Amino acid sequence: MSKRGRGGTSGGKFRISLGLPVGAVMNCADNTGAKNLYVIAVFGVRGRLNRLPSAATGDVVVCSVKKGKPELRKKVWRAVVIRQRKAFRSAITGPVAKECAEMWPKIASSASSIH
């Protein structure tokens, strides 16, 4: 019998709506100089035929910078999705999802609040 679920993601994770499919453009929430990130792939999602892999809070995504500093653009980067609402910016200046804070302690320590 084949495995079910999201392809063996690390840690105990609650079922969250997968709000960021491949091809989504999201706002960058730190002070690196990137503004918009384009999602290329999602780590740990095996998927199904004709279904776009999607990310939720706490997931690691492969992305490229669409808007931001020229030295960051046109390269492939990894990022952690910290929340799915409220556009936001190493200095995290807004709330972080509880699921993300449990999986990534360093992100939780630099967040102003956890919800």
One DSSP character per residue, 80-101 reads E---SSS-------SEE-HHHH
Return the pLDDT at 86.
53
Return the pLDDT at 97.
82
Q: Which residues of the chain, if any, have pLDDT below 70?
A: 1-14, 85-91, 93
Return the pLDDT at 85.
67
The CATH number linked to 37 is 2.40.150.20
User: Is 62 domain-assigned?
Assistant: yes
User: Is 38 domain-assigned?
Assistant: yes
CA distance linking residue 71 with residue 106, whole number of Å: 25
The DSSP element (H or E) to which 34 belongs, if any, is: strand 34-42
User: Is 10 domain-assigned?
Assistant: no
User: Is 13 domain-assigned?
Assistant: no
The residue count for the chain: 115
User: Is 11 domain-assigned?
Assistant: no
- Residue 3: how many CA atoms within 13 Å on its side-chain side? 8
**How many beta carbons lie within 10 A of that of residue 90, not counting itself?**
9
Nearest to 68 by CA among 110, 22, 35: 35
User: What six digits make up the tokens of 4?
Assistant: 């079910």
Task: Say if residue 97 is exposed, middle or buried (CB neighbours under 10 Å; 0-12, 13-18, 19+).
Answer: buried
pTM of the model: 0.69
Return the pLDDT at 73.
95
- For residue 53, the enclosing domain spans 20-114
Q: Structurally, how many domains does the chain consist of?
A: 1
User: Is 95 domain-assigned?
Assistant: yes
